[in-house]
Every structure is written in C-alpha cells, then in structure tokens.
Amino acid sequence: MYLCVEGDGSERASMMKDFYAHALNGAATKFKYPDIDPQCMASLETLLGREITVQDVMFQLLYALKDLGSRLNMEPITDEEYTRYDGYFDKMIERNAKINQKMN
C-alpha cells in the first residue's frame, strides 16, 4: 500500500512510475508491479483540504488500532524476531545491489 500524506501525490506517483519502469527495463518478472496512474493519486492533505502531517496520521492510526482492541508492544524484540529481521535485511541489501548493478 502506498500512502502519500503531504505534498504533491501525483508528482510522487510519477516518480514511482518512472522508478518501476527503469527497474523493470522491459523484463518479465515473477510478480506484477503495481499499475501507477499519477493523475489518480493525491496526498491526504490535498484530498482533505487541510494541513496534515505524517505524525498526525501515525497517531490517528495508533488511536484507531487501540480503539479496535490492539495494543502497542513496547517489549524488546526476541532473538527469533531479530534473526528473522536480519535475514530480511540481508535479502533487501542483495536485491538493492542487483538493482544498482543493472542501473550502472
């Protein structure tokens, strides 16, 4: 999910569309990249017609989750979670390295 809170949503969408086009470079992939139509994208700030910040949205989201019965876990992550995070982080670094190689 992509959520633009403040600024020009269509400008950011154009940038994302260009990024995906450059990354794909016409190649077939195992998964489908999102179709991006910058003309249909706007920030929450634009849609609501008032100033809003990322921090505002974060707090509103946390309050909404709390109202739905969720709780915020402030405990440190477990060894298992850290190991999983480490693996995901390494995969992201490898993926980014491949993308950078193709761009050069």
Domain count for the chain, please give it: 2
**68 with 78, same domain?**
no
**32 with 63, same domain?**
yes
**24 with 59, same domain?**
yes
**What pLDDT is recorded for position 54?**
95
The domain of 79 spans 74-104
**What pLDDT is recorded for position 26?**
78
Q: What is the pLDDT of residues 27-66, one digit of tens each?
A: 787 877 788 899 999 999 999 999 999 999 999 999 999 9
**25 with 58, same domain?**
yes
**68 with 53, same domain?**
yes
Which sign does the torsion angle of CA 67, 71, 74, 80 carry?
negative
- What pTM, to 2 d.p., does this model score? 0.58
Q: What is the pLDDT of residues 66-104, one digit of tens each?
A: 999 998 888 999 999 999 999 999 999 999 898 888 777
Any idea of the CA torsion for 55, 58, 61, 63, to the nearest 10 degrees?
A: -70
Angle between helices 9-24 and 79-103 (to 10 degrees): 80
**What pLDDT is recorded for position 101?**
83
**58 with 100, same domain?**
no
